[in-house]
Chain A
Amino acid sequence: MSSPEQRDEVEMLSLMLLIRRFEERASQQYQAQKIGGFCHLYIGQEAVVIGAIAATRPDDYLITAYRDHAHALARGTSADACMAELYGKVTGCSRGLGGSMHYFDKANHMYGGHAIVGAHVPLAAGMAFAAKYRGEDRVTLCFFGDGAINQGSFHEALNLAGLYKLPVIFICENNLFAMGTSVERSTSLKQIVDRAEGYDIAGYVADGMNFRDVRDKLAEVVDGIRKDPHPAFVEIRTYRYRGHSMSDPASYRTKDQLEKFRMDDPITRLRAQLTREGKLTNEQFDAMDKGAKDTALASVKFAEQSEEPPLEDLYKYTYANGEST
């Protein structure tokens, strides 16, 4: 078991770069109509999931909503498998059957990719229940947006987790908007974190543009949960640089707001911190960035050369073991 301090920050920075470069590529390929359906980009929010990854173990359960590319990459799903999924290829992380919103990777404990807002929050409680049931010290990380906190399923899950003292961390990625609706226009509370209080769950706030803040807050929370199972709630304040999905011009927000967050970019910040502390040279950073770009580009090639899922398999995954009805 590696303690958070041992997770190399340079490695975490390189994962953040990979996420960004991968999504820039995905965006380009989407515009070239190589990718179908909906596609939601995470660019700007990288420090949230990477901060969480840095504070947890690879065998902790992770589940998220539809803005999920980063969560899979953070968990170790290859860029190839992620890009191939966008292309709907059989080599994709969900065999081309899920698409952008439904990434899954069992081997890496990535339990999806869920596109109905709020619907996966009870699943996280169930996964945490299973861990507790089996006496494991695993933690479940449940990511969702600010828009999800007004769904009944969210409230029911929080109460259940509080009631049964389940080892789950509810991580609200507050990027200030749910589609075109700002948090002030969707939520009766001034602070999202205050939701937790109603369920007697401890609430924390972290700065999602700051990797170290996210990691350190989560590390503290995780430590407590491993010793004694209980739920926690962390509101992480962040921002998505792009529109809600590829078709959203995001005209509901100001350029100034976007610029303010861009000035506070999580990758730039961690790089500066590491450089200042003598842990990273410009050459190293450039090499890492080139590596990320190369990986993203190679993933496009991989996706393009991969096969489609076979037509004969249409009914293969409707029931377990390919049963038919």
Chain B
Amino acid sequence: MREITYRQALNEALAEELERDQNVFLMGEEVAQYNGAYKVSQGLLDRFGSMRIIDTPISENGFAGMGVGAAMVGLRPIIEFMTFSFSLVAFDQVVNNAPNMLTMSGGQFNIPITFRGPNGPAHQLGATHSHATECLYANFPGLKICTPATPRDAKGLLKTAIRDNNPVLVLESELLYSSKGMVEPLEHDLLIPLGQAELKREGSDVTIICYAQTVPLALAAAETLEGEEISAEVLDLRSIKPLDLQAILASVSKTHRVVVAEQDRPYCGIGAEICFRIQKEIFDELDAPIARVSQEDVPMPYNERLEQAVLPSAEKIIAAVKKVCYA
């Protein structure tokens, strides 16, 4: 194992899959000559050339659609959205063309495409640039969605996504690109299956279910809570769809108390689905109503103090944990 950044991990995943399969190519704004707006595709143009690492105009709907078309005839496109806030310009391609094709064609056309890029609020980018889109996309059958929170997960999930025969969204996090973590050596073909959650920390009093940007928050909260004699288990979903229900049920059956920490908004958010599943399957295991920590249900304000008030935080998770633990 060696320590690399989340950005580097994604870069390795792209390079390895481009190397492995000639049908894989990367397309998006500033991915080639600029080496990526967030430098995830650093060096790939030099290594793989301009037929495979392709700069596009600002035409999200157009190039996302090109990806779907290319996938229909056998290529395996990786479409980078500079951020998933801009994927909304291409919403029709991502939700209408990519995931419907297989059903509409009676099973003839599967779409092996990866849509990737940073998702979720960064820092003071305002309402148009701060969308957490996972709950939108999760509502469309035919799409798979993963949300890596560590360099290792970023690499393993992206490689798996590229090899998957369906449309997969890899929702990265701008705030995590420079974070570091241990990852298997380069020669190791690291593949992490979609739909497998991971316990990022074991505990016995409460389960904090989290993903993407809420994972570091949940870990920080658990650390603080330990000092107050509350033992929190941190379960990182890693994939939103498919969802690792077994891992959720196993942890909740152990701790009997749950806080869902999600980075999207509360109304029809990911946490709503998880709460439903838990109460449906193991209602009797619960010792307290489930708490959710999410964004506030407002367009994101620019002002820093207000933005902090909108976003989930370690403090909010701690407060929610204390509430479900009646502490």
A205 to B37, CA, bound (A): 31
Please give the distance in Å from A249's CB to the nearest CB on chain B: 11
The verdict on B163 contacting chain A, using a C-beta distance below 8 Å, is no
Please give the distance in Å from B101's CB to the nearest CB on chain A: 21
Size of the chain B interface, CB-CB below 8 angstroms? 35
A318 to B301, CA, bound (A): 10
Q: Which residue of B lies closest to A147 (CB)?
A: B58
Q: Which residue of B lies closest to A98 (CB)?
A: B302
Q: Which among A36, A116, A186 is the interface contact of B124 at CB below 8 angstroms?
A: A36
Known contacts A102-B126, A102-B127, A152-B62, A181 near B55 by CB under 8 Å? yes
The verdict on B33 contacting chain A, using a C-beta distance below 8 Å, is yes
The digit string for A281-296, where 1 denotes a CB below 8 A from any CB of B, is 0000000000000000
Size of the chain A interface, CB-CB below 8 angstroms? 39
Residue contact B303 to A118, C-beta cutoff 8 Å: no
Q: Which residue of B lies closest to A99 (CB)?
A: B302
Q: Which residue of B lies closest to A187 (CB)?
A: B57
Residue contact B34 to A88, C-beta cutoff 8 Å: no
Residue contact A309 to B303, C-beta cutoff 8 Å: yes
Residue contact A181 to B30, C-beta cutoff 8 Å: yes
B interface secondary structure, majority: loop
The digit string for A175-199, where 1 denotes a CB below 8 A from any CB of B, is 0001111000111000000000000
Residue contact A150 to B57, C-beta cutoff 8 Å: yes
Chain B contacts for A315, CB-based, 8 A? 296-298
Please give the distance in Å from A279's CB to the nearest CB on chain B: 41
A98 to B300, CA, bound (A): 9
Residue contact A96 to B59, C-beta cutoff 8 Å: no
Please give the distance in Å from B291's CB to the nearest CB on chain A: 20
Residue contact B126 to A99, C-beta cutoff 8 Å: yes
Residue contact A117 to B62, C-beta cutoff 8 Å: no
Known contacts A97-B306, A179-B34, A314-B306, A309 near B29 by CB under 8 Å? no
A116 to B88, CA, bound (A): 10
The verdict on B128 contacting chain A, using a C-beta distance below 8 Å, is yes
Chain A contacts for B57, CB-based, 8 A? 147, 150, 178, 181, 186-187
The verdict on B129 contacting chain A, using a C-beta distance below 8 Å, is yes
Residue contact A186 to B301, C-beta cutoff 8 Å: no
Q: Which 5 A-B pairs have the closest CB atoms?
A: A99-B302, A36-B124, A88-B303, A150-B57, A37-B124
- B residues lining the A interface (CB < 8 Å): 29-30, 33-34, 37, 55, 57-62, 85-86, 88-89, 123-129, 296-299, 301-306, 309-310
